[in-house]
Structure formats: C-alpha cells, structure tokens
Amino acid sequence: MVLILGGARSGKSRYAVHLAEKWFGKPLYLATAEALDEEMAERIEIHKKARGTRWSCTEEPLDVAGVLRKLPAAHDGVLLDCVILWLSNVLIREGEDGFEQRRKELLSALRNVRYGVILVSNEVGMGIVPEAELGRKFRDLAGRLNQDLAGEADTVVLVTAGLPAMLKGEMPKRIAPLPRAGQARRLPRYKRGGVPTG
C-alpha cells in the first residue's frame, strides 16, 4: 500500500497514475469525484483521456471500502483518488458520525486487501488556519485521516511541484497481487518498506 500526499496541483495524481501503470497490468481507477458542475465534469473528462484505454474506472463518492472489498477479478491493483474529496463527500451527506463509521470501514478494508493499492490524498494542514469552524474541523479530520493511512501504508510519498519525496519506507519495484483463496504459491517475503527480499 502506497500513500501519495501533496497539495493542490502538486502533481500527486499524475505521479500516482505513473506508478500504477508501472506496477499493475490491469489497474482500476477508483474515483471519488462527482460531476456536480460543468467545471468538475470537464476535469473528469481530462483525467479520463489522460489515463487512456488501459484503465477501468469506478466512480464511488461514499462506499470506497465496499469497492476495495470486492475488486473484480479482471483487475490486479487499485488507485484511489482522492481520499480527501471522499472525506468531503461523506461529511456533507452523512456528517461527522457517518465519517467515523466510514473511516473504520476503510481502514479495515485496506488491512485486508489482497492486491496493490495506491492512495492519493491532499495535504491540507500546511496553510493558514481556516477562519470558519467548519473549515477547521475539516482540516483536523483530514489531518487525522492522513495519519491513519500513513500508519497503515508501507510507503508514503509527498509530492511537491511534481517532485516526489519519500517520507516512509522504500518504493517497491513492483506490487505483486496475493493469490486468491484456494491458490497456493510462494509469496515474497517483505521487509520494512514493502521491498521483496525473496
């Protein structure tokens, strides 16, 4: 599991797509954005064209844990983009209590995935303190969520101005999917940072 953090227009999504295309033969793009206005619809179309036909895409604004638990057999890895937009979706529709339940479900799903996962998330705590109480609450929840995900991830990368900086672990050469139930094969042993040792 790789967590890629960065600010707006930092290049984090482009970097995540690059890694996914390097590691996964049949990647699934798990999008949390919704085309609620013309600008967002245009952005979504630009992203789809940039990814090309190799990708499949599932749009899910709320139940990302459900998608992660039931990855179609045709895929060998997932890129979830963007975690903080998902947080916003949940808070608007289900409130803070709803988010706490969804957060637990997401962390549980990530702990049990049997394939590679790349998460993209915004780093929102490096600017000024929001004036509105709701803005401060959102910033705090986003920061805690990023900490939770960083704790689970093998590798954490911060992208700034298109340049990746390693915060945790090492970048694996590839992410091999684990076998499905009933399949027996020797799995690589992983040392800290997610790099196969044999």
What CATH number should be reported for the domain holding residue 150?
3.40.50.300
- The reply to whether 37 falls in a domain is no
**pLDDT at residue 189, rounded to an integer:** 40
Q: Which residues are catalytic?
A: 47
- The reply to whether 181 falls in a domain is no
- The reply to whether 180 falls in a domain is no
The total of structural domains in the chain comes to 1
- The reply to whether 127 falls in a domain is yes
User: What are the pLDDT digits (tens) for 110-163?
Assistant: 999 999 999 999 999 887 888 888 889 999 999 999 999 999 999 999 999 999
Q: Give the largest Cα separation in the chain, rounded.
A: 56
What residues contact residue 34 under an 8 Å CB cut-off, 6+ apart? 40, 59, 61, 89
Torsion angle, CA of 67/72/75/77, rounded to 10 degrees?
30
- The reply to whether 191 falls in a domain is no
- The reply to whether 108 falls in a domain is yes
Using alpha carbons, list the distances in angstroms from residue 7 to 13, 158, 170, 182: 10, 9, 21, 42
Q: Output the average pLDDT for the chain.
A: 85
- The reply to whether 198 falls in a domain is no
Domain of residue 106: give its range: 2-31+56-168
- The reply to whether 71 falls in a domain is yes
What is the distance between the terminal CA atoms of the chain, rounded to a whole angstrom?
Answer: 19
Rounded to two decimals, the pTM is: 0.83
What percent of the chain is predicted at pLDDT more than 70?
84
Cα dihedral 100, 149, 88, 76 sign: negative
